[in-house]
């Protein structure tokens, strides 16, 4: 059987939604307004925090043609007032006859739009291409559940688990191709975080750079947490974009501060001490490990003491992907869970 018109228009709304940015405090949403004769009279997508919602853009484009039309929206229209008014009120005011949405809003502060539209006499149906819509906003939905930014821990290590040699040198554990891969992934987050120990020892720039060494147009927020001061000439201050100092050693406090500032996706590149603090707090959601086929036999471990004394207490990960990147291996893993934690638990947990 061919695709129904309802699925067709929702799929178009999903294509529009994918044009929206991530990371962003808000979900990516698309909207298509279709007149009773099947003509598309308005389209829109949400272009990030502070911009009009997808429904607003689509209804603005539709104008008077929205009356009696059907609005296809990838996420249940919001019923609360944030930076903008409720989309449900605008849908009612413009005379839309029917609203079809894909995914119910997982945010309790914004949910309830379907009931509000139904109470206003608008025909409402949901669940159309819901899985596709959920996949589009999977990372955003996880932040809603967690109430904090997602944290991806990146590490580079030798085969014997060393992130630096005995003399403290650590540049470079992995090869050029692996480092370029890190920059590509770093660019997909809205903050990169290290501790003052790493900032002082390695003097990193924390910018996203292109393969030719030039600075990329988009730069994540550069964040350094810890109590020690940084010299004025530290390289983290070089380059475009903003730098934030968080004078705390508490990972949860740092994430709370970043959350309030709108950060939703953090790339953690700190040293072994900071990594251990995030891991011990259950605050790591993804891991990218770059493993070089090299042996040091001594030197700094990739992660500090986690207080684990027996194999039964090991922090377990579930393998997602393994790839050869140049002369190194990239391992992507996510938390593994037992029955006491729950299969849907979002952060690393000790059995």
pLDDT tens digits, one per residue of 38-72 = 999 999 999 988 899 999 999 999 999 999 999 99
Instruction: Looking at the structure, tell me whether residues 192 and 281 fall in a common domain.
Output: yes
- CATH number of domain containing 73: 3.40.140.10
Mean pLDDT of the chain: 88
The domain boundary residue, chosen from 97, 123, 143: 143
φ, ψ at 111 (rounded to 5°): -70, 170
Is there a single domain that holds both residue 79 and residue 175?
no
- Decide if 54 is inside a domain: yes
Between 270 and 92, residue with greater pLDDT: 92
Q: Is the pTM of this model over 0.85?
A: no
- Mean of pLDDT values over 26-39: 95
pLDDT greater at residue 255 or residue 216: 255
The whole-angstrom separation of Cα 74 and Cα 132 is 9
Q: Which domain holds residue 331?
A: 147-335
Catalytic residue among 55, 57, 76, 269: 55
Concerning whether 76 is annotated as a catalytic residue, the answer is: no
Q: Which two tokens stand for residue 338?
A: 């037992």
Residue 166 has what pLDDT?
A: 86
Provide the token pair at 30: 């698309």
Which pLDDT belongs to residue 232?
85
Last residue of a domain, one of 108, 143, 178: 143
How far apart CA 281 and CA 249 sit, in angstroms, is 12
Q: How many domains would you assign to the chain?
A: 2
Query: Is position 109 within any domain?
Result: yes
What pLDDT is attached to residue 82? 63
Nearest Cα neighbor of 302 from 151, 149, 165 is: 165
Q: What percent of the chain has pLDDT over 90?
A: 66
Tokens coding 157? 């290590």
Q: Are residues 287 and 325 in the same domain?
A: yes
Alpha-carbon distance of 93 to 247, in angstroms, equals: 48
Question: Would you tell me the crossing angle of helices 54-62 and 5-17 to the nearest 10 degrees?
Answer: 120
Is it the case that residue 1 has pLDDT exceeding 60?
Answer: no
CATH number at residue 194: 3.40.430.10
């Amino acid at each position: 059987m061919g695709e129904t018109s309802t699925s067709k228009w929702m799929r178009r709304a999903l294509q529009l939604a994918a044009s929206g940015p991530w990371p962003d405090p808000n979900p990516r949403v698309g909207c298509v307004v279709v007149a009773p004769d099947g003509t598309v009279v308005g389209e829109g997508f949400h272009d990030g925090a502070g911009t009009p919602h997808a429904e607003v853009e689509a209804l603005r484009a539709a104008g008077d043609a929205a009356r009696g039309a059907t609005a296809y929206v990838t996420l249940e229209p919001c019923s609360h007032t944030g930076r903008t008014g409720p989309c449900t009120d605008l849908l009612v005011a413009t005379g839309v006859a029917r609203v079809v949405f894909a995914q119910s809003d997982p945010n309790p502060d914004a949910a309830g739009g379907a009931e509000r539209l139904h109470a206003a006499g608008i025909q409402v149906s949901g669940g159309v291409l819901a899985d596709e819509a959920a996949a589009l906003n999977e990372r955003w939905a996880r932040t809603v559940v967690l109430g904090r930014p997602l944290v991806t821990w990146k590490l580079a290590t030798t085969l014997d688990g060393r992130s630096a040699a005995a003399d403290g040198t650590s540049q470079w554990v992995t090869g050029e191709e692996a480092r370029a891969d890190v920059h590509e992934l770093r660019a997909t987050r809205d903050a990169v975080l290290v501790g003052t120990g790493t900032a002082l020892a390695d003097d990193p720039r924390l910018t996203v750079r292109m393969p030719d060494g030039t600075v990329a147009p988009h730069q994540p927020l550069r964040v350094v947490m810890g109590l020690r001061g940084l010299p004025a000439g530290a390289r983290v201050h070089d380059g475009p974009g903003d730098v934030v100092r968080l004078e705390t050693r508490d990972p949860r406090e740092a994430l709370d501060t970043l959350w309030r500032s709108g950060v939703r996706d953090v790339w953690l590149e700190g040293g072994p001490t900071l990594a251990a603090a995030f891991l011990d707090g259950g605050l790591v959601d993804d891991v990218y490990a770059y493993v070089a086929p090299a042996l040091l036999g001594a030197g700094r471990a990739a992660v500090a003491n986690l207080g684990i004394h027996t194999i039964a207490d090991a922090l377990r990960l579930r393998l997602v992907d393994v790839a050869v990147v140049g002369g190194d291996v990239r391992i992507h893993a996510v938390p593994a869970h037992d029955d006491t934690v729950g299969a849907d638990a979002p952060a690393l947990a000790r059995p």
